[in-house]
Amino acid sequence: MVTFVETDVVIIGSGPAGASAALFLSTLGVPNIMITKYRWTANTPRAHITNQRTMEILRDVGVEDQVLADATPHHLIGDTVFCTAITGEEIGRILTWGTHPARHADHVLASPSLNCDIPQTYLEPILVRNATERGTRTQFSTEYLGHEQDSEGVTVRVLDRLTGNEYTIRAKYLIGADGARSAVAADIGLPYEGQMDVAGSMNITFKADLSELCRHRPSVLYWVIQPGANVGGIGAGLVRMVRPWNEWLIVWGFDLSQGVPEVTEQDALQIVRNLVGDPGLDAEITGISLWGNNEQYATRLHSGRVFCAGDAVHKHPPSNGLGSNTSIQDSYNLAWKLALVLSGQAGADLLETYSDERAPVARQIVTRANKSAREFGALFEALGLDASQSAAEMDARIEEHKDSSLAGAAKRAAVREAMELKNYEFNAHGVEMGQSYVSSAVVADGTEKPSPSRDPELYYEPSTWPGVRLPHAWVGDSRSKLSTHDLVPYGQFTLLTGITGEAWADAALKVVDRLGIPLRAVVVGPGREVTDLYFDWSRLSGVDEDGAVLVRPDKHVAWRAASAVQDPEAELLSVLTAVLSRE
C-alpha cells in the first residue's frame, strides 16, 4: 500500500481559495495535490457576486467564458430593493454592482471584464475541473490531520475518509485554504486580530417561482425590513436570488447571546413566507444552515513553507461580496511567486511578500464588510425602528415616511441619506479594484501615490504607480482588440513601452539572458506588436513614450521609469533582482 506521495505544493481545501490556487499552479505547470474533506465541492450557494478583479483573473487563466456561461449576467444583478416584504411596501431601490449608468461607465472603463453572479456551487466545479484537467491531483473525501515542516519541505498527514487509511504527502510547500475554522492556520499559530462569532445568521435555501415579483426590478438582492430583521444577521433580512427566479437563499439573523436556535423546516417555511410576503407561498425548503458572523483577520499569512489563503485569513460577513473574490485574489498573488521560487528563478524571500501584500487587504476587507453590515443601522434609525417593536409598530413607523408633515419630510431625507450609505456596500468599486501593494516585490519610483480625486472606496482610479493594478486600455491592430491585461499573461513579467522606448525592449532581452526569467517586452505604437487603439494607454500609462512600465504576472505594477534612461539594461537588471529577491 502506498503511504507516501510527493509533490511540489499540497493544497488543503477545494473552496474558492484552494481550487483557484490549484488552477493557478497547474496553469503555471507546478505539480500539486489538492485534498478536500468532503465528497464534492460546496453544497450550498454561499458566494455569488464575482467582481471585476476576479473576472479578469479568471479571464487570464482562460475560464471566464465558462463562468459567464453559468452566471446570471451583469445587467440582471443590480436593481437592489429595500422593502417590508418582496410583495410589500418598497422603501427604496439602488442600482448596485455598477448597474447605474454612471457607475456602469466606470466599470466598462476599468476592466475588460464585467462582474456577474455565479453561485459558489457553480463556480467551484469550474475551478476544480480546470485545475484537474491541467494537472492537479484532486483527492476528495480526504482530510488534513496535521503537518511538520523542515528546511526542505512539509510532511502532511492526511486521512482517506473512505477507507480510514492515513498516509503522508511530502511537498515543498503547503497552502491551507481550509476555510474560516482553518486547522492549518491553527497549526502554524497565525496571529489574528478581531473576534469570531460576533452575530448569528442562518441560510435557508428554497425553490419558488418569484418571477412575477422580480421581472420589473431584476436583482440578486431583496432586503427586507421586518421585526427581527436587525437582530444578528447581516444588517437586514435578505432574499437572495440563486437562479433567476426560482431558486433563492434567505439570510436571517438570530441573537447569538441566546444560544443557537433549532430551526425546523416549518420555521424555515414561515421565515420564507414572511420575507416574501405571501402567507400561502408554495415553497420547497432545500436547506437550512446556521453560521456565525466573524470580524477577524490574520496579520501574517504564512509561517515558513506553510501559507494560508481565503477565509482562513479573513473572516467576515458576506456584505460587499468580498469573501470568495478575495480568496481567489490571495491565491493569484501567491501562485506565481511559488512557481518562480520552485523553478529557482526567484529567491525564497519573494514568498515573504505574500503576507506583506495580502495581510493589509485581509484587514481592509474584514473592516469594510463589517462596517457595511452595521451601516444598515442607519436605515432602521431613519425609519424610527428598533428591535423591540412589534410588526404593527414597525408598520406605523414606516408609514410615517409618507406623511405630508415636516416630520415626514425629515424622515424621507433621513431615509435617502441612509440609502446613500449603502453604496459603500454595493458600489464599492474602489475597494474591489484599488488594491495596492507595498513590499520588496515592488520598487518605488520616487513619486508619491496619487491622491484620489473621488472617494477611494467607491471609485477606482487607474494609475501605474508601483504596487497598483495595471490599468486596462484597449490595444491591438486592424485584426485584434486586446486589453492591456491580455499583454501580460500570468506566466511572465511584461515590460510595456512605446516606440521611442524601444531601447527598453532590447534591454529586456539581455536581462532574460542574464537572469533566465520569463520576461517579455511589448512595444505599443503604430506598426508595432499592438497599437494604442483609442489613445487611452498613452493617457493612462503614467510615463512618457520612451518610459516603461514593468508589470508582474499578477498584473500589479512592479516598477516604472518615467522616460528613457542612460543604461536601461542595468536599470532593469537591478529592479528585477530586487523584485525577485535574487542575490
Q: At residue 116, what are phi and psi to the nearest 5 degrees?
A: -155, 180
Q: Per CB under 6 A, which region of 185-193, 204-212, 311-319, 392-400 contacts ligand FDA? A: 311-319
Answer yes or no whether residue 501 interacts with ligand FDA by CB under 6 A. Answer: no
Nearest to ligand FDA of 219, 324 (CB atom): 324
Q: Under the criterion CB under 6 A, does residue 17 sit at the interface with ligand FDA?
A: yes
Work out how close the CB of 352 gets to ligand FDA at its nearest, in angstroms, rounded to a whole number: 21
Tell me the residue ranges of DSSP E strands in 37-191: 49-50, 79-83, 90-95, 116-117, 137-139, 142-149, 154-160, 166-176
For the segment 47-76, give every residue that binds ligand FDA (CB under 6 A). 47-49
Chain positions 74 to 133 lying near ligand FDA, rule: CB under 6 A, are: 120
Say which residues have a Cβ less than 8 Å from residue 98's Cβ, sequence separation at least 6.
52, 74, 78, 104, 106, 107, 114, 115, 427, 429
Question: Which residues face 559 on adjacent strands?
Answer: 550
* Burial tier of 377 (Cβ tally within 10 Å: 0-12, 13-18, 19+): middle
Q: CA neighbours within 13 Å on the CB side: how many for 196?
A: 10
Is residue 322 within the footprint of ligand FDA (CB under 6 A)?
A: yes
Report how far residue 319's alpha carbon sits from residue 513's, in angstroms, rounded to the nearest whole number. Answer: 48
Q: How far is the CB of 120 from ligand FDA (least distance, A)?
A: 6
Tell me how crowded residue 488 is: count the other CB atoms within 10 A of its CB. 24
Q: What 8-state DSSP symbol labels residue 573?
A: H
Count the alpha carbons within 13 Å of 530 in the hemisphere toward its beta carbon.
Answer: 24
Min. distance of Cβ 106 from ligand FDA in angstroms?
Answer: 19
**Least distance from ligand FDA to the Cβ atom of residue 321, Å:** 3
In the range 248-267, which residues lie near ligand FDA by CB under 6 A?
251
**Subset of residues 177 to 216 that bind ligand FDA, contact rule: CB under 6 A:** 177-179, 183, 203
Could you identify the residue written with the cell 487587504? 361
Closest distance to ligand FDA from the beta carbon of 492 (Å): 27
Q: Phi-psi region for residue 309, left (φ > 0), alpha (ψ -120 to 50) or beta?
A: beta
Nearer to ligand FDA, 33 or 276 (CB): 33
Which of residues 29, 38, 196, 563 is near ligand FDA by CB under 6 A?
Answer: 38
CA 261 to chain centre: 31
CB of residue 524 to ligand FDA, shortest distance in Å = 33
In total, the chain counts a number of residues equal to 583
Q: Which of 8, 11, 13, 561 binds ligand FDA (CB under 6 A)?
A: 13
C-beta closer to ligand FDA: residue 15 or 462: 15
Please, which of residues 122-151 interact with ligand FDA by CB under 6 A? 143-144
| Cα dihedral sign, 346-349-352-358 | negative
Nearer to ligand FDA, 75 or 449 (CB): 75
Please identify, among the stretches 65-73, 206-214, 320-328, 472-480, the one whose residues bind ligand FDA according to the rule CB under 6 A: 320-328
Contact residue for ligand FDA among 323, 467, 498, 553 (CB under 6 A): 323
Site for ligand FDA in 279-308 (CB under 6 A): 291
**CA torsion angle for 122, 123, 127, 129 (degrees, to 10)?**
10
- List 79's β-bridge partners, or say none: 95
Q: Determine, following the binding rule CB under 6 A, whether residue 333 of this chain makes contact with ligand FDA.
A: no
Distance CA 400, CA 98 (A): 32
Stretch that binds ligand FDA, among 43-51, 368-376, 438-446, 568-576 (CB under 6 A): 43-51
> Exactly one of 12, 127, 285, 415 binds ligand FDA (CB under 6 A); which one?
12
Where on the chain is the footprint of ligand FDA (CB under 6 A)? Answer: 12-18, 35-38, 46-49, 120, 143-144, 177-179, 183, 203, 251, 291, 310-312, 318, 321-325, 327
